[in-house]
Structure 1
Amino acid sequence: MEPQNSDTTDFLSCGVPGLDEVLGGGLTADRLYLVEGEPGTGKTTLALQFLIEGARQGEHVLYITLAETAVELRSVAQSHGWDMAGIQIEEIIPGENALDPDQQYTIFHPAEIEMGTTTQRIVAAIDKSRPRRVVLDSLSELQLLAENPLRYRRQVLALKQYLTSRSCTTVLLDDRTALSTDLQVRSVAHAVITLELADQAYGAERRRIRVVKYRGIAFHGGAHDYKIVRGGLRVYPRLVAASSRVISARRQLSSGMPALDQLIGGGLEEGMSTLISGPSGTGKSSLAAQFVHAASQRGEKSAMFLFEEARNNLLNRCANLGLDLAGAEDSGLLTIQQVDPAELAPGQLTHAVVQAVERGVKILVIDSLNGYLNAMPDERFLATYLHEMLTYLGQRGVVSIIVGVQRGMIGTASSAVDASYIADNIIMLRYFEAEGEVRQAISVFKKRGSAHERTIRRFEVGTGGIKVGPVLRGFHGILTGVPTYDSAEVAQSFSQPAGDIQI
């Protein structure tokens, strides 16, 4: 027999996208692993991916099933478009004669006969095929046959010693359907991977994977989102910004509008996050699109994640404002991803953001914060998720722009999240009433990267484009929505032409 592998850096790939990263490199060869989870969490799918990866690398692989038939396993593989040609399946399932009264045991207890027979058939299958990777599905059947914890633990320990002496990397599946919850195998296994399924009040269920233990390996702890799609499981590792620090000099990125650049202190600094806040309809998304348009004009890449507005509506609306986002998308400088909050796992958005950064985007827009809030499984964690993401983007020198819709139209407006915690910069758009008309104003409330104007300026979005006008002098109380003003100064202010019409 080959000696058991003693190198803890000799990893085998799981064949599951993202899982090797969570495990700190993969599965150490010649060890025994436990994958546990309730029915429907994807254990069988994960196990098949593990074996298919081994077969792809030319290894002998074996799937020992104590419950599902080979036909059922192949139908699972077919639904994912997999070829099972390189996978040997060994069925150890009671036959039809088990229902025959003449076959029932009378002198010996059934457990004494069936447990021994099952173990013998498992050993015989492994001796015959001499596999490098083995899956045993499932431990619940062995636990039911063993009937008591002592016998069950002894059988699992014996099985572990036998498998490691054969230089097998073994994955044991446990669906937790046995009569009692037993932690015996957790102490025996080299690593324990738990799959969890959580129902939501609305939308798709949330699936999470955790590595409970992994001896001698610095794995990525905590809960990680995963999805079961055609092609198998896809794991989205939880983002840890501290592990991806990149320090670089920061430069300012212009909005392409001189008056707006003047207001915000020259532009938005690389690595800074900006919250564009205001009531519905004030032009927040259009202003964010202006920064994207300016980046594409410089030949820089951008990405936009839309939660509310449809992609076509955004492109058509921006075209009417003279912002050619469609052309930027066609040239590959812009990617627009439509997000369905009801179907989104938080880790999926994080994964998409990381991929965008790896493609070299300089500006990333999330439209809107409210949509992102609805995508979270629990509102309590929104600030933590978002702060970690923005920290990661900042360390990579990406300008992140978040659109936030405030409650209320005129007067005091409130936001669902503490903006001072979320963003480095805050650009505020407001409605106010003057001379029988509802008008708009723009101001910068906060900016960490540089000095900025403290003024409140006119702001318009119309068929002529986006306009940032002169300072609204003579007004008092614009932030209340119903200001008082000096008619002479106001008349002079509104008689001045709008500062910029940027196309």
Structure 2
Amino acid sequence: MKRFPTTVPGLDEILHGGLFEGGVYILEGPPGAGKTTLANQIAFSLAVRGGKALYVTMLAESHSRMLQHMLGQSFCQPELVNASVLYLSGYRELEEHGLKAVVPLLRGEMARHQASLLIVDGLVVEREDERPGEGVRQFVHELQSLGSAMGCTCLLLTSGHGRPLNAEQTMVDGILTFEDYSYHWRSERRIQVRKFRGSAVERGKHTFCITDDGLRFFPRLEGLPPTPARRGGGTSSVSLGVAGFDAALQDGGLARGSSTLLVGDSGSGKTVLSLAFLSAASREEPALIFAGTETAAELVRAGEGCGLPLAAALETGALSVHVQGSEDEALDEMGHKLLRLVDERQASRLVVDGLAALADTVAFPERGYRFVGRLLRELKGRGVTSVFTLDPSALAAATGSAAPDGNGLAAWFDNVLHLARHDGAPDGRRLTIGKLRAARATRSSFDLRLGACGPTTD
């Protein structure tokens, strides 16, 4: 069967290639979940590719009112309205004669415009004289016949007002359920493919957001097929940026492509040590920092105070800074964004300064352990050497767990380093190796100084 790609970011990935041409799909969910925006986004995407879409509303809301809202979206191109994206009302036919009167209207308009996408928005059963679900089943059966004969894909949008569609009893090809999930004072939008004929899909619930560019979906990271590994360049080891520490390691640094968890309380020097790791970046081996709250200027000042030339790296593009997003970002949204930035910048070194930012999401208590493991696997497959910082107190506040490493998160990392204030150290800090995988060290503890010449050890 031929696919009908939606071209909506992330959605075709969840559907393993998109919808099927001529299929009938129900999009169900509460008002405001994003169904209408998604349907218009798919329609305009088709129009840009040279196709035609027919958008039929079954409610009293005017098309002009709906389009006023759509004009704020970048995908909405006014010149395509009523040329390639055609709007039609079926409200009168539905009110006067029920769903059976809507079918001839759709048949005629689909044939006249040669539409390859039909959207029916607001499909509910209100009439009391129809047997429950009978009118819907007949309507869907007619749509399937029309869609198959004309090669037209159909989307049925319903919010469940009145008498809701009994979707399980209809002969649709797929059911996509939208929800606005709330947890305490936070919320996130989710989608689940409850039914899909003809292909496997990414199961479970996936988050999405509504932006000025339309909807963007974020498939659950741990459910996706692994990205093919790419071979990293350069030497087999990567410097942490602290000469004494690197010299104590068997290969003169961390293993290329390894992941390191740097654990320490606030003020122990985690960010400065991470900046030292980034300071060796070059245009041939770029670096990226996924910062917590500090801006690029603030990080440069912190680095300059310890003799780390970060400004030059930023100017040449060897170093990129991305400040972590708003509190409303979902776990998978942050994970996909991080991997996208790594790919776009071809980063070889990565710092995530504040693992608690990932933990401060709705899904982390249930999925955080598996999510972090998959994220590290994706980074390793890309040949990226990564350093994640962890403040146990911040993580405990985000997850509600008193475990210092977030209930076993440290097990996923190749290396675990502990940084703490220590009265016996010259600068009051001590760096201790908790774990090294695929490497050996001649020492396990170092007195650390954060001076004007960069981090150094005794």
* Fold shared by both chains (TM-score > 0.5): yes
User: Which amino acid is 1:50 matched to?
Assistant: I
Residue 395 in structure 1 maps to residue 384 in structure 2: no
| Contact 1:31/1:169 (<8 A) preserved | yes
In 1, are the aligned partners of 2:24 and 2:155 still within 8 Å (CA)? yes
Output the amino acid matched with 1:130. Answer: Q
Matched with 1:322 is 307
Measured after TM superposition, the shift of residue 457 of structure 1 is 1.7
Is the 1:393–1:399 contact (alpha carbons within 8 Å) kept by the matching residues of 2? yes
Gaps of 5+ in 1: 1-7, 96-109, 470-503
Distance 1:225 1:178, change over 3 A: same
| 132-141 vs 249-258, which moves further | 249-258
Q: Where does residue 442 of structure 2 map in the other structure?
A: 453
Q: 1:90 aligns with which of 88, 107, 113?
A: 88
Do the aligned partners of 2:248 and 2:442 also contact (CA within 8 Å) in 1?
Answer: yes
Q: What is the DSSP-based 3-state SS (H/G/I as helix, E as strand, rest coil) of the residue aligned with 1:355?
A: helix
What is the rounded CA distance, in whole Å, between the counterparts of 1:277 and 1:354 in structure 2?
23
- Aligned CA distance change for structure 1 residues 131 and 407 (closer, same or farther; 3 Å): closer
Distance 2:297 2:403 in 1: 30
| Residue number in structure 1 paired with 2:363 | 377
| 2:263 paired residue among 242, 264, 277 | 277
User: What is the CA-CA distance between 1:399 and the residue it aligns to?
Assistant: 0.9
Preserved CA contact (<8 Å) 1:209 1:224: yes
Q: Distance in 1 between matches of 2:393 and 2:101?
A: 68
Q: 2:107 aligns with which of 123, 126, 135?
A: 123
User: Matched residues in 2 for 1:66 and 1:221: separation?
Assistant: 31
CA RMSD of aligned residues (A): 2.7
Superposition pairs for residues 53-92 of structure 1, below 5 Å?
A: 53-67=45-59, 68-81=61-74, 82-84=76-78, 85=80, 86-92=84-90
Q: How does 1:81-230 map to 2 (within 5 A)?
A: 81=74, 82-84=76-78, 85=80, 86-94=84-92, 113-141=97-125, 146=130, 148-180=132-164, 182-184=166-168, 187-203=170-186, 205-230=187-212
* Secondary structure at 1:420 match in 2: helix
Q: Is the contact made by 1:341 and 1:372 (CA closer than 8 Å) also made in structure 2?
A: no
Structure 1 residues 60 and 216: alpha-carbon distance in aligned structure 2, compared to 1, 3 A threshold: same
Distance verdict in 2 for CA 1:245–1:453, change over 3 Å:
farther
Q: TM-score, structure 2 length as denominator?
A: 0.88
1:19–1:56 CA distance, 2 compared to 1 (3 A): same
- CA deviations 1:387-426 (Å, max 9, x no partner) are 1101111122211111011349xxx993434243231101
Query: CA separation of 1:329/1:145 partners in 2, compared to 1, >3 Å: closer, same or farther?
Result: farther
User: Does structure 2 conserve the Cα–Cα contact (< 8 Å) formed by 1:308 and 1:371?
Assistant: no
Contact 1:428 / 1:442 at 8 angstroms: preserved in 2? yes
Distance 2:106 2:295 in 1: 55
**Is 1:406 the counterpart of 2:399 in the alignment?**
no
Structure 1 residue corresponding to 2:334, chosen from 349, 358, 362: 349
Counterpart residue type for residue 290 of structure 1: A
Q: Distance in 2 between matches of 1:121 and 1:323?
A: 70
- Which residue does the alignment assign to 1:51? 43
Equivalent residue, structure 2, for 1:463: 452
CA separation in 1, counterparts of 2:166 and 2:188? 25
Which region of structure 1 is more displaced relative to structure 2, 142-151 or 424-433? 142-151
Residue 292 of structure 1 is matched in structure 2 by 278
1:20 partnered with 2:12? yes
1:293-312 matched pairs, under 5 angstroms: 293-296=279-282, 299-312=284-297
Deviation per residue, 1:94-133 (Å, 9 max, x gap): 49xxxxxxxxxxxxxx988344433333333323323111
* Amino acid in the other structure paired with 2:69: V
**Superposed displacement of residue 141, structure 1:** 4.8
- SS state at 1:392 partner: helix
Distance of 2:127 and 2:34 partners within structure 1:
21
Q: What amino acid maps onto 2:360 in structure 1?
A: N
Report how far residue 358 of structure 1 moved: 2.0
Higher-Rg structure is 1
Give the distance between the partners of 2:51 and 2:411, measured in 1 at CA.
52
Could you tell me which residue of structure 2 aligns to residue 497 of structure 1? Answer: none
Q: Counterparts of 1:172 and 1:403 in 2: how far apart (Å)?
A: 47
Partner of 2:421: 431
- SS of 1:35's partner is strand
Distance in 2 between residues matched to 1:38 and 1:162, nearest whole Å: 28
Q: Secondary structure of 2:124's partner?
A: helix
Alpha-carbon separation, structure 1, partners of 2:102 and 2:142? 14
More displaced stretch, 277-286 vs 188-197: 188-197
Question: How far 1:441 moved relative to its partner?
Answer: 1.0
- In structure 1, what is the Cα distance between the partners aligned to 2:321 and 2:128? 52
Q: Which moved more, 1:306-315 or 1:390-399?
A: 306-315
In percent, how many aligned pairs have the same letter? 25
Q: Partners of 1:306 and 1:202 in 2: how far apart?
A: 24
The alignment partner of 1:131 has SS state of coil
Query: Is contact 2:334–2:358 with CA below 8 Å preserved after alignment?
Result: no
Cα separation, 1, equivalents of 2:95 and 2:453:
83
Distance 1:78 1:157, change over 3 A: same
Distance in 2 between residues matched to 1:314 and 1:438, nearest whole Å? 21
Give the distance between the partners of 1:13 and 1:74, measured in 2 at CA: 23
In the TM superposition, residue 368 of structure 1 has moved relative to its aligned partner by: 0.8
Question: 1:146–1:152: 8 Å Cα contact kept in structure 2?
Answer: no
Q: Which one-letter code corresponds to 1:158 in the other structure?
A: E
- Give unpaired runs (5+ residues) of structure 2: 395-401
Number of residue-to-residue matches in the alignment? 440
CA contact (8 A) 2:28 2:160 kept: yes
Following the alignment from structure 2 to structure 1, what is the Cα–Cα distance between the partners of residues 261 and 299? 19
- SS in structure 2 opposite 1:14? coil
| 2:293 counterpart SS class | coil
When residues 453 and 208 of structure 1 are mapped into structure 2, their CA distance, relative to the original with a 3 A threshold, is farther
Q: 1:456 to 1:384 in 2, by over 3 A?
A: same
